[in-house]
Structure 1
Amino acid sequence: MTTSTDITLIGGGIIGLLTARKFYNAGATVTVIDKGLLGKESSWAGGGILLPLYPWRQNQAITLLVKQSLGLYPALASQLSEETGIDPEWNPCGLLITQNPDITAATDWCNHNKITFEEAENMLDGLGTMAVHPLWLPHIAQIRNPRLIKSLKQDLLQKGVRLIENCQLSAINLDNNRVNSIATSIGNLLINELIITAGAWTSELLKQFFPTIRDNSPQISPVKGQMLLFAAKPDTLRTIVLDGDHYLIPRLDGNILAGSTVEGDTFDKSTTPEAKNQISAFALKLLPALKDYPLVKHWAGIRPGTQNGVPYIDRHPEINNLSINAGHFRNGLAMAPASAQLIADLILGRPTSVDPEPYRLNRLV
C-alpha cells in the first residue's frame, strides 16, 4: 500500500490542479489522480472567458467567487509563466456585449461590483449584429485554458506534487465515517484527506462508491458544449464579443474560438454537423471577416451542471475526511482560484474570504 500524502484529490481539471497548488503552498503534501489525462475534459474544452455570460442574470454566489478570482488571476498567470516558462496568456482584451435588453440590471451589477463599463455604440463596425444597448467592459480578461493547464501541471510537477494520470478507481474503503484508503489501478492509496474534484463525473462517482450518503451528495449533471476554431490572423478581432447566446474569443496568435452549444444530460463528447453549422453560421454572420479564414477544429466538452450554476464547495457532513469542490458549470475557469481558496480554508480551519453557506452540500436537504 502506497504511503499517504496529506491531501488526495480525485479529478485533475482546473479545479483539482488549483486546489492542489493551494494546499502545496500551505505546506501540505498532495496527490492528484485522474481517470484520464490531467485537464483534458471541460477545463481544456472551454473558452477561457474570465466572467460569466451576463453575470447580472446569474446567482450572487457565482459573482462572489468570480470577483475574488478576477483579483487573483494576474499574479497567478505571472507566477506560472515565470516559474514554468509556459505562458497561460492571461489577456485583458475586454468584453463587448452587443445585446443587453436588461441594461439597467447590467449597469447596476457593474456599478455594485466595481466593474468598469462604457457604452459601445461606436465599437460595432465590422460586426453583423442587431445591437441592443451594447456594453464594453474594457478590463475583462480571458486565459488560454490549454496553456493554463499545461503550466499548472508543470508547476505542480516541479513542486513535487504527485500527479497520477489514467488511474482507474475501483473502491473507496470506509471505517468509522472516514475514508482510510482507495483502491486504484496502480494499487491502494492511504488517505488522510480526500477531495473530489471530478467535475461532471462527481455525482456518478459518489453514487458508485458512497451509495449510502445520497442525502448529502451533490446533484451534478453532464452538459455538453461544442465549439469551433478559426485560423485567423492577429488583430482580425481584438476583443471578446458576446452576441446573444454565443461568443467569439480572439487568441493572441489570431485564432478565434466560436461557441457554444448547451446540450444537457450526456457524457457523449462526439461532435455533430448540426452544431457545427449553427455555430459557424453565427460566427460568419457576426464577423464576416472570418469568411477569409479556414475553420480548423471542432470539439466538445462536458460541463458539470448544477442548479443555478452554483458549485458545491464543502466538507462532507457525514464522512469526516471527505470534501467536494465541483459543479462549476460554465464558469469553472472564472471561479477556480477562489474555489480552491475556499476549500483549502475550510479544510485547514482558516477564516474564509467568502461566506461558505451558498456552496454547502446540505443546501440540498
Structure 2
Amino acid sequence: MTRYSDITLIGGGIIGLLTARELHQAGVRVTLIERNRIGQESSWAGGGILLPLYPWRQPDAISRLVIRSLALYPSLAEQLIRDTQLDPEWTPCGLLISKNPDIQAAIRWCKDYSIRYETPGLAFFNELNTQPENPLWLPYIAQARNPRLVKSLRQDLGDKGVRIIEECELKSVYTHQHRITEIDTAQGKFPVEQLIVSAGAWTGQLFTRLFPIPAPDIVPVKGQMLLFDAKPDTLRHMVLDEDRYLIPRRDGKILAGSSVEHDQFDKTPSAEIHDKLKNFALALMPSLKRFPIINHWAGLRPGTEHGVPYIGRHPEIENLFINAGHFRNGLAMGPASAELLADLILNRTPRVAPEPYQFSSLH
C-alpha cells in the first residue's frame, strides 16, 4: 500500500531533521529520504559552536537566523531529552574570543542583538599561550554535540511516526506543468505533493543532475578536525583564537578545528592539516600535550558565496522548496531555518524576514 505524504524531504542532515520536526509538529505528514545514513555528513563532522565565528563580520541575514535559533535551542534540547532520553549536550559554556581588532564592531553587534559580553580577566588566560587583543567573553554562548543532537533528532522523529528512508539515492524527478509529480529513487517511486531539498553540500550537484532549471550555487567546502582525549575540566569554555578554536565536551574531550578547503567532494583527512591543527592546539594550550589525539576526520560544508543559505520556494517549480547552503553554521542557524521554511510552506507569519534567503536574492 502506498503511503502518501504532504511533504517529501530529501536530505537527512541537521537541516533536514529540524525541518521535518518543525513540519511534523504542525501536523504535516513528512517522508524524509537520505541517500546514506542519517546525519553522517557535515552535521556529524562539525564542532557545534552555536554562533558564527566573528558574527559581526557576517551578513545580517546570518545573524537573524542565529539569534532566533539561540532562543529556540533551550526548549529543543529539553524536549529531546524528555522524549528520547538522548541528551544532545546543549551546553551554554561560554565563548572566549582572544583577538578582536574590530572590537567596536563586535560590541555594537552584541548590543544590537542583546548578546551579553564582558571583558575577560587575566585568569581566563592562565592556561592559554596567546597574545590577547581586545579579548571578549560571551558567557552564554552554547555548543551542541553534533552526533548526539543528530541521534536524538532521528530517534524523536522515528518515535513520532515520521517516515525515514535511509540509503535511498534520488535517481530522477518527474514534472508536469511546473510541478513535481513523482520522484524515482533506489527504493522505488514516490508520489510528491511538496518536495524540499536539504541535501547539504550535494544540493547544487543534485539540482544540476536532476532538474532542468537554475541550480542553487552551493559547493562543498572541506573542513578537518582533531579530538584530544582530555580529562573533564581541562578546559571549561570554548576558545576562538584568530581563525581556529578549541571546544571542550562535557566528558572532557577537546575538539580542535578547523580547516577551510575547496576540495570538491574529497573527504580524506590529510597529514598536513592534522599537523597544522595539532600545532595550533598545543601552541595555544600547552597542557594538551599530556593527552593523546584519538580522532581526526573531515566533513564537507555546503558553501555559498556569503554563507547565506537558500530557504524558500524555487521560482520555476511551484511545489519545490530549498533549505540548504548554511556553510559552517548549520547548527547555529538550523532551528530558525527550519521554522522559516515551515512558515513559508504553511503560510504562517514568518518570525524572520524571508527575503534575503530566496533564490532570486542569492542569484
TM-score range, shorter chain: over 0.9
The alignment of Structure 1 onto Structure 2 pairs a total of residues equal to 362
Amino acid at match of 1:145: N
Deviations 1:184-219 (A, max 9, x none): 1111001011000001100100111112x12xx210
Structure 2: tracts of 5 or more residues without a match: none
Map 1:315-330 → 2, pairs under 5 A: 315-330=313-328
Q: What TM-score comes out, normalization by structure 1 length?
A: 0.98
Q: CA deviation at 1:264?
A: 1.2
Deviations 1:129-171 (A, max 9, x none): 1111111000000000100000000000000001111101111
- Sequence identity (%): 60
Q: CA deviation at 1:2?
A: 3.5
Q: CA deviation at 1:121?
A: 3.8
The residue that corresponds to 1:42 in the other structure is 42
Amino acid at match of 1:298: H
Deviations 1:74-127 (A, max 9, x none): 000010011001000100000000000111111111111110011114211110
Q: CA deviation at 1:173?
A: 0.6
Question: Secondary structure at 2:48's aligned position in 1?
Answer: coil
Amino acid at match of 2:64: L
Amino acid at match of 1:336: G
Amino acid at match of 1:112: D
Amino acid at match of 2:177: N
Deviations 1:33-60 (A, max 9, x none): 1110000000000000000000000010
1:91 aligns with 2:88: no
Contact 1:221 1:265 in 2 (8 A): no
The residue that corresponds to 1:363 in the other structure is 361
Deviations 1:257-315 (A, max 9, x none): 00000001411000000000000000001111100000000000000000110000011
Deviations 1:294-343 (A, max 9, x none): 00000000000001100000111110100000000010000000000000
Contact 2:356 2:362 in 1 (8 A): no
Amino acid at match of 1:124: F
Contact 1:304 1:327 in 2 (8 A): yes
The residue that corresponds to 1:243 in the other structure is 241
Structure 1: tracts of 5 or more residues without a match: none
Q: What TM-score comes out, normalization by structure 2 length?
A: 0.99
Map 1:189-228 → 2, pairs under 5 A: 189-211=190-212, 213-214=213-214, 217-228=215-226
Across the aligned residues of Structure 1 and Structure 2, the Cα RMSD in angstroms comes to 0.9
How many Å separate the matches in 2 of 1:225 and 1:261?
Answer: 5
Amino acid at match of 1:35: R
Contact 2:310 2:362 in 1 (8 A): no
The residue that corresponds to 1:143 in the other structure is 144
1:174 aligns with 2:175: yes
How many Å separate the matches in 1 of 2:331 and 2:285?
Answer: 26
1:307 aligns with 2:308: no
